[in-house]
Structure 1
Amino acid sequence: MSMRALRKLTYDPTLALTVLFIFGLLGLFIVYPLVQVFVTSLFYRGEFNPKYFLQFFRRTYLFRPLLNSLTVGALVAGIGTAIGFLFAYAVTRTDIPGKPLFRIIATFPVISPPFLLALAAILLLGNHGLITEYFKLRWDIYGLPGLVLTETLAYFPLAFMALEGVLASIDPALEESALDLGASKMRTFFRVTLPLAIPGIASALLLVFIRSLEDFGNPIVIQGKFQVLTVQAFLAITGMYNLPLGATLAIVLLIPTLLAFMLQRYWVGRRSFVTVTGRPSGAALRRTSPLGKTLLVGMLSLISGIILLLYGLVVYGSFTRLWGVDNSFTLENYRYVFSTGAEYLLDTLKIAGVAAPVGGILAVIIAYLVVRKKFPGRGLMDFLSMLSFAVPGTLVGLGYVLAFNKPPFRLTGTAAIIALVFIFRRMPVGIRDAVAMLQQIDPAIDEAATDLGGGLAATFRRIALPLIAPAFISGMTYIFVRCVTAISAVVFVVSAQWQLITVALLHEVDNADLSQAAAYGVVIILVVLAAILLM
């Protein structure tokens, strides 16, 4: 088949050039930066010397952050997936009141910078937090408790979204059959519903674990003395100016994420979970008992209340003069954001305005090639296009700094390098959306266009693109939102000429100007909401 596909490329120069162009982009902006990180970690002062790999397990100050990161990741993955499952189960498998509201609250943290919750936790439980000051507490939120709290609330929506579709697809007839055979509702849940949800649970655990492991924004704000690997890699580069050490720590960070991915594939792949058979089912969800409703609504209301409280504190804090010292009302923080911070906001919108459509178009082109065309290296293209999604943002950002700071690819200090980080780091979501939509469209439509003389470009532009327009729009929206809210990868590539509003927010937190930081956070949320409504 590969020879036939290769022969087809020779007869279709447009396809051949497109494939080569895409491989060139993936090689230059995904593979090349990662190679540069590996090379930097293995060479010291121009000579091969993996000294930091050799020292890593001998030096406590190097090894401890890895253990701390794994601890936080495991706790956040477990608790976050449990909360996500609770919300998803209540929304899809019960008849509790207020389900639309709970769904909105469960997804709200997705549209804000993840570390905005860390800022809110400081406003509530920091050294001058409302609760800390009111009760004269000597304890504060910094360290492991703060990291687990903020990352769990920031990333449990990912588990919720992964599990909602899985639980919604389970045929109620399976549970009804178990109940008709005499099983209690509790036994039916543990013996039928929960086992069928294992693929989603495993996927959610993996996703939340990786996102926690690579999180930079929350730890840099609230880690205190509980050091994690992402922050240590950043400080090694920006504080110690030790690129080999920073690269080594970034590579070490990659190892557990890949191991988690392989474990998830092994765990889920060895069992069958088919529930959609094509046969119609007239079964409907059974009514939830009054006690069950009370417990579910109570737990969901408690978690939702915490989320609303934290975001409400950010809004309240944005109108105070100096948090913890003078909480009187003022609009000066917003005047500051729209004067001093206006340049950061405009830079962010300009870069996001370029990265979003470019990333969206590249995503649908790659998806179209992978699903609809046969050519040598199709599987490799699919793998490379998804690679950056599995790589921690710290590693991606460092890779771009190392790869594009000298001719012939000197991009450091420009807007282009920031846009490229966004495009190739966030593009995989758009690719998966487009692939899923293309798999639902009959290939005969494309084949008919080709038989009538339509070339690759014409068929894609006039047939495929209109059919997968929703995937293009959703991918473009996702890239735009992440451009406005991201911090982990781009913190390495911003410059004095081009800054981002999330970096400005982080600077305000570093300077202890929490009221101004809160105002930046509110503006970011409003910009994201406006973008979602417009798109």
Structure 2
Amino acid sequence: MPKSQGRALDRKKLLADPILVAAIIGIFLFLFLFILYPLAILLTDSVVVEKNINGTTLKTIGFANFIKIFKMTNFRHAISNTLWLGLISGIGSTVIGFLFAYVDSYVDVGSKIVKKLFGVVSILPVVSPPFVLSLSAILLFGRTGVITRGLFNMNNTQLYGWRGIALVQILTFFPVCYMMLKGLLKNIDPSLEEAARNMGAGRFKVFQTVTFPLLLPGIGNAFLVSFIESVADFANPMIIGGNFDTLATSIYLQLTGAYDKSGATAMAVVLLVISMGLFILEKYWLERKSVATLTGKATRGRAAITDSSVRIPLVTICTLLTVFVISMYILVPFGSLFKIWGRDYHLSLKWYEYIFKNKGYRVFTDSMLLSAIASPITAFLSMIIAYLVVKRKFFAKGFMEFVAMLAMAVPGTVLGVGFIRGYNSGLFHSGILSGLYGTGAILVIVFIVRSLPIGTRSGIAALRQIDRSIEEAAYDMGADSAKVFQTVTLPLIKESFISGLVTTFVRSITAISAIILLVTPKYLLITVRINEHAEKGNYGIACAYATILIVITYVAITIMNFVLGKLGTSKPTKEV
């Protein structure tokens, strides 16, 4: 049989290459130890009930932990709060993201500066910590805010609660929806819409009957992505939430405030089930539907809308939103320079002096060192996984890809609880690898796990564009798999490798939800310090830390763009 013979030949080739076999085993071992195992322990411990009978602790299987947490009024409120917030943030982010994408793709903006500002808005959430907008919102609309106290002399503010969280989440997540929908809009063939116009349909009718139906799966995808981000968000609800509890903050408080490990574990499982359900819905239903609906690319350019009745209101709304978002980001550096926010607006460097007199150098060196260690390891691992998935045939290849992408669906707080339960007493509570807990190594591993899906997706996309015959030629010359990967494959995907390197660094140095439960006084990290000072109301210090962090990430991305620009252009050769 041709198929069976092909499988036998692939198996023979695989077993004849010990380096390839070792790479597959090593990758599966890493994925098992640091993704599957913490989640499995989390699920197992959530149904293990400890009972003390006559001084002896007995363990039984049951749902007592879940019954206990669902009896808590605060936890039931946290579930409804989380879903409500996800709905509001998802709708708001998708609507604003779609508006920006439509204006960028369909409307004659009329100004290159405005176009560049749209680009700035799309990159700002990448180079900034996840809670910068929360700090800005407090500086503007908080109890001592410029607008609430300075302009209107208001003592009470509605900022702290679901309204404030929804505001900052929408402004943080809508650029992601904008970039997703922008690509889909540019791929719609303009001849479809022009055909409807030629049949006598008005502009709104064309949008209603042609453009919107084609985009509907993509809009659903963007909504679910922002919904998942909102459900998993920890930093913004922690800083600006007030008494409005979400699942992510409830897990943290149950573990650090109530010292209830079993309750926190059960809560983490509930959040994991919600996020995994949304992830599976987005990945295996809406993504496939989007690909089937929008195929190929536009055959030619689209004539931009110049009608003033359409152009002026849409461009004005987007420009005002852009200026507002950029102003909120700019407000953070100003917040770090004022002596006392809300009282004394004289410029001063006192908060920066405070930072560096109080172990500031160590905060930045620890954060940069751990992120710098995680970056090359993540980039290399993700490229190997992508290479194995795309270029090699072996048993459980699809499973490897699924597990590598799984961390994308796991909220940071859930992963943190999983690592605590999994490694606090060692592997399977045996004491093996218990020395990992509380060290910098476990923080580096969490950074790797959190960034692995992005690097893997980037590598898979790059490798699918490389013809198989290029590598086969190297094999025919006698090179083994390691040599082919090092000398042929990696140079061809160097752009994706460098992009993954810098993306991991940026994501690691700005991470908080996954490490807040794992960090110890041994390591001082920037995001943890920002969170601590923001909770205490020391907004000047928090803004100073955040400003330096933004500068670090912006410099890292600038270096990446410079290097990629150099790699993308070939040097001119002299004719002899």
Structure 1 length normalisation: TM-score?
0.96
Q: Does 1:325 align with 2:343?
A: yes
CA distance change for structure 1 residues 31 and 429 in 2, over 3 Å: closer, same or farther?
same
1:192 offset after TM fit, Å?
1.5
| Maintained 8 Å contact 2:187/2:296 | no
**Residue equivalent to 1:82:** 95
Distance 1:408 1:105, change over 3 A: same
Establish whether residue 64 from structure 1 lines up as the match of residue 104 from structure 2: no
Native 8 Å contact 1:6 1:376 kept in 2: no
Read off the aligned partner of 2:190 and give its amino acid letter: P
Cα 1:443/1:155, change in 2 over 3 Å: same
1:40 is matched with 45
1:353 match: 372
Specify the code of the residue in structure 2 equivalent to 1:469.
Answer: K
**Is 1:221 equivalent to 2:231 in the alignment?**
no
Partner of 2:147: 131
**What is aligned with 2:410?**
391
Does 102-111 or 118-127 show the bigger shift? Answer: 102-111
Map of 2:306 onto structure 1: 288
Matched with 1:459 is 484
1:365-444 equivalent positions in 2, closer than 5 A: 365-406=384-425, 407-409=431-433, 410-444=435-469
- Tell me: CA distance 1:473–1:105, structure 2 relative to 1, closer, same or farther (3 Å): same
| TM-aligned CA distance change 1:3 to 1:66, over 3 Å | farther
Measured after TM superposition, the shift of residue 277 of structure 1 is: 4.8
Displacement, 1:215? 0.4
Q: Which amino acid aligns with 2:226?
A: V
Task: State the AA in 1 paired with 2:432.
Answer: P
Larger Rg, first or second structure (1 or 2): 2
Tell me the equivalent position of 1:172.
Answer: 190
Separation in structure 1 between the aligned mates of residue 179 and residue 480 of structure 2, nearest angstrom = 38
1:472 maps to which of 476, 497, 506: 497
CA distance in 2, matches of 1:260, 1:313: 34
Label 1:251 to 1:417 Cα distance change in 2 as closer, same or farther (>3 A): same
Offset, 1:185: 1.2
Q: Deviations along 1:498-527, whole A, 9 cap, x unmatched?
A: 121010111111221111111111111100
Closer, same or farther: CA 513–192 of 1 in aligned 2, 3 Å:
same
Matched residue count: 534
How far off is 1:299 after superposition? Answer: 0.8
Per-residue deviation, residues 328-370 of structure 1 (Å, max 9, x unmatched): 2210111223332221111010011111111001000000000
Matched, 1:306 2:324: yes
Inter-partner Cα distance in structure 2 for 1:94 and 1:176: 15
C-alpha separation in 2, matches of 1:529 and 1:283: 33
Distance 1:104 1:271 in 2: 27
User: What secondary structure sits across from 1:353 in the alignment?
Assistant: helix
Q: Deviations over 1:151-200 (max 9, x none)?
A: 11111111112112111111222222221221111111122222222232
CA distance in 1, matches of 2:9, 2:95: 49
1:271 to partner: Cα distance: 7.4
How many angstroms apart in 2 are the aligned matches of 1:471 and 1:154? 25
**Counterparts of residues 207-218 of structure 1 (less than 5 Å):** 207-218=225-236
Write the deviation string for residues 419-466 of structure 1: whole angstroms up to 9, x where unpaired: 110101111101101101111111111112112211100111111101
CA drift of 1:403 comes to 1.8
> How far did 1:3 drift?
4.9
Tell me if structure 2 keeps the 8 A contact 1:352–1:484. Answer: yes
Counterparts of 2:166 and 2:250, CA distance in 1: 18
Q: Which amino acid in the other structure matches residue 474 of structure 1? A: S
Give deviations 1:138-160, integer Å, cap 9, x for gaps: 22310010010011111111111
Alignment of 1:337 with 2:362, yes or no, is no
Tell me the CA shift for residue 266 of structure 1. Answer: 3.2
Q: Within 2, Cα distance between the matches of 1:273 and 1:194?
A: 15
Give a deviation string over 1:34-91, Cα, whole Å, max 9, x none.
Answer: 1121122122335134312123444322211011000001110110011111111111
Residue number in structure 2 paired with 1:202: 220
Identical-pair percentage: 37
CA distance in 2, matches of 1:432, 1:155: 20
Contact 2:122–2:176 under 8 Å retained in 1: no
Equivalent residues of 2:106, 2:305 under 8 A apart: no
Give the corresponding residue for 2:470: 445
Taking the aligned partners of 1:493 and 1:213, their CA distance within structure 2 comes to 21
1:261 matched to 2:279? The reply is yes
Superposition deviation, residue 270 in structure 1: 5.5
Distance 1:252 1:350, change over 3 A: same
8 A Cα contact 2:138 2:145, kept in partner: yes
The reply on whether 1:503 has 2:508 as its aligned counterpart is no
| Aligned residue among 104, 113, 119 for 2:120 | 104
Supply the RMSD in Å over aligned alpha carbons. Answer: 1.8
Alignment-derived partner of residue 55 in structure 2:
none
Structure 2 distance, partners of 1:384, 1:472, is: 20
For the structure 1 residues 269 and 430, does the alpha-carbon distance in structure 2 shift closer, same or farther, using more than 3 Å as the test? closer
State the shift of 1:282 in Å. 4.0
CA contact (8 A) 2:217 2:289 kept: no
Local SS of the residue matching 2:345: strand
Residues 1:55 and 2:68 aligned together: yes
Contact 1:196 1:273 (8 Å CA) reproduced: no
Q: Is the 8 A contact 1:127 1:140 kept in 2?
A: no
Tell me whether 394-403 or 192-201 shows the greater mean CA deviation: 192-201
1:485-504 equivalences in 2 (<5 Å): 485-504=510-529
Change in Cα spacing, 1:520 to 1:294, as seen in structure 2 (3 Å) is: same
Q: What's 2:25 paired with?
A: 20
How far residue 274 of structure 1 moved from its aligned partner, in angstroms, is: 4.5
Q: How far off its partner does 1:310 sit?
A: 1.5
The TM-score, its normalising length taken from structure 2, stands at 0.89
